[in-house]
């Protein structure tokens, strides 16, 4: 399996992100700073069955993410209107973010020319926006599974006990 070069450096603050959300309005990672660890997922979008399967898996354990004081942000090139419709239909509780221009995606990961969308990628940050984990793959099912993501979040919570209710 081909690996992608890392665009971001572990231990550094991730780039600014402010995108339209399926929940109306815009979401900025700085709105969540010092309150939530983040799992930022870039995916192919509406036409990718592997991506939607991954989002549904994240949905199934979303309450576990909340208990670990974490938030999920899922980014694609789909329009905010389409994401809002999909979130409602699929009952996705977390933010689906629209990066129609691809500018934010370019700051984090790589564009997949086959599908004109981001290559599936996961970034895990602590509550201060510091990058702790990153992975990019050709397909969403090749990325970390939800148990592995939850393990990373648990690690972040135990490293900062004064930040946590654990």
Quote the pLDDT of residue 35.
85
Would you say residue 92 lies in a domain?
yes
Buried b (16+ CB within 10 A) or exposed e, 121-159: bbbbbbbebebbbbbbbebbeebbebeebbebbbbbbee
CATH number at residue 141: 3.40.30.10
Would you say residue 9 lies in a domain?
no
Number of domains in the chain: 1
User: Residue 25 burial by CB count (10 A; 0-12/13-18/19+): exposed, middle or buried?
Assistant: exposed
Quote the pLDDT of residue 161.
52
Note down the domain range covering 138.
Answer: 41-163
Question: Strands 131-136 and 70-76, how do they pair?
Answer: unpaired
pLDDT values of the chain reduced to their tens digit, one per residue, 166 residues: 557 888 999 999 999 999 999 988 999 988 887 789 999 999 998 888 899 899 999 999 999 999 999 999 999 999 999 999 988 988 999 999 999 999 999 999 999 888 888 999 999 999 999 999 999 999 999 999 999 999 999 999 887 655 545 4
The three-class DSSP label of residue 74 is strand
């Amino acid at each position: 399996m081909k690996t992608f070069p890392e665009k971001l450096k572990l231990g550094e603050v991730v780039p600014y992100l402010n995108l339209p959300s399926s929940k109306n309005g815009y979401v900025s990672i700085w709105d969540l700073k010092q309150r939530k660890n983040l799992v930022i997922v870039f995916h192919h979008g509406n036409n990718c069955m592997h991506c939607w399967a991954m989002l549904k898996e994240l949905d199934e354990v979303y309450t576990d993410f909340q208990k670990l004081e974490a938030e999920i942000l899922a980014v694609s090139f789909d329009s905010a209107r389409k994401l809002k419709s999909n979130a409602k239909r699929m009952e996705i509780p977390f933010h689906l973010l629209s990066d129609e221009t691809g500018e934010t995606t370019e700051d984090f990961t790589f564009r997949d020319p086959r599908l004109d969308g981001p290559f599936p990628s996961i970034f895990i940050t602590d509550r201060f926006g510091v990058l702790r984990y990153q992975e990019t793959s050709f397909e969403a099912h090749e990325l970390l599974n939800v148990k592995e993501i939850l393990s990373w979040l648990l690690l972040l919570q135990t490293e900062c006990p004064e930040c946590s209710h654990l």
